[in-house]
Structure 1
Amino acid sequence: MKKKILLGMSLCLVIASLGLVYLYSYKAHRDISAEKVDYVVTISGLESEFTANERSAYTKYQNKIIELTATISMIDATSKGIVLGEKVFATFKDSLPKKITSGKTLKIKGRFLGYDELLGEFKIDESSVTN
């Protein structure tokens, strides 16, 4: 009798553990365009914060939703991205919006990924146009 109870409890524990692993692994993805903006920043503001204290700036901005306004320097249709103010590389989730043209001022929001020291660019993904 005790063996049957232990076997039943063990089986329930295994099933519950598998269920938790499944729920953790296949949770819904973030919808960045629907989330609230954490920080409204400028490119020069980002540069000064990263120059002053890179570790603190990463802690503040990493994986947060930021919004910034800048002029489009370059459009890269193959990677669905744009360069803003020659310092921020922003990629879009699905495709580039049709109204994007080089030289135009644009307000975008997206998830801050980090700073690429080699290229001297800040990286943002899942961007969306907010103006």
Structure 2
Amino acid sequence: MRKWIIIVLIALVASYIGYNYIYQDHRNIEKESAIFTMTSSEITQLFSKDIESAEKQFLNKTIEVSGLISEINTNDITINDSVFCQFLNTINNSLEKNNTVIIKGRVIGYDDLLEQVKLDQCSIIK
């Protein structure tokens, strides 16, 4: 009887640890500090030269990117036609094309067809 209680307790503890490992809290990119700060042309140049090494360096990292707004929609901004920034919420209406902006977000990859670095969970710093 005592062995069964110990086995059940071990199974419960293992289940609890496994559940917490699999279902971890999501990252809040807005509260994280940026690991890298650069202009849109700098990061695009790094990706266009060598995608593999740039992905190793930047993929899933929080960065700040600055540049001019070339396109603006309700949930995304394109900076200098080279960095695509997707937001979780709608964007502030005070932003306009050709304004300088600094955006913080998580690098999710590089679209070599459009030659754009992709960021998600973005927030406007300035």
Per the TM superposition, whether the score is higher than 0.5 is yes
Runs of 4+ in 1 over 3 A off after TM superposition: none
Structure 1: distance between partners of 2:45 and 2:102: 20
Residues 75-97 of structure 1 show CA distances to partners (whole Å, capped at 9, x for unaligned) of 122xx111110011101122212
After TM superposition, the score normalised by the length of structure 2 is 0.90
Computing the radius of gyration from Cα coordinates, the structure with the larger value is 1
Structure 2: distance between partners of 1:50 and 1:27: 30
Gaps of 5+ in 1: none
After TM superposition, the score normalised by the length of structure 1 is 0.87
Hey, what does 1:113 align to over in structure 2?
A: 108
Q: Name which of 53, 56, 59 aligns with 1:59.
A: 56
* Residues 1:125 and 2:120 aligned together: yes
Q: Name which of 10, 13, 16 aligns with 1:16.
A: 13
Relative to structure 2, which stretch is displaced further, 86-95 or 25-34?
25-34
Gaps of 5+ in 2: none
- The alignment covers a number of residue pairs equal to 126
Residues 31-87 of structure 1 show CA distances to partners (whole Å, capped at 9, x for unaligned) of 11111110011222223322333221111101111111111111122xx11111001
Q: CA RMSD in A?
A: 1.4
Identity %: 29
Shift of 1:125: 0.7
Hey, what does 1:82 align to over in structure 2?
A: 77
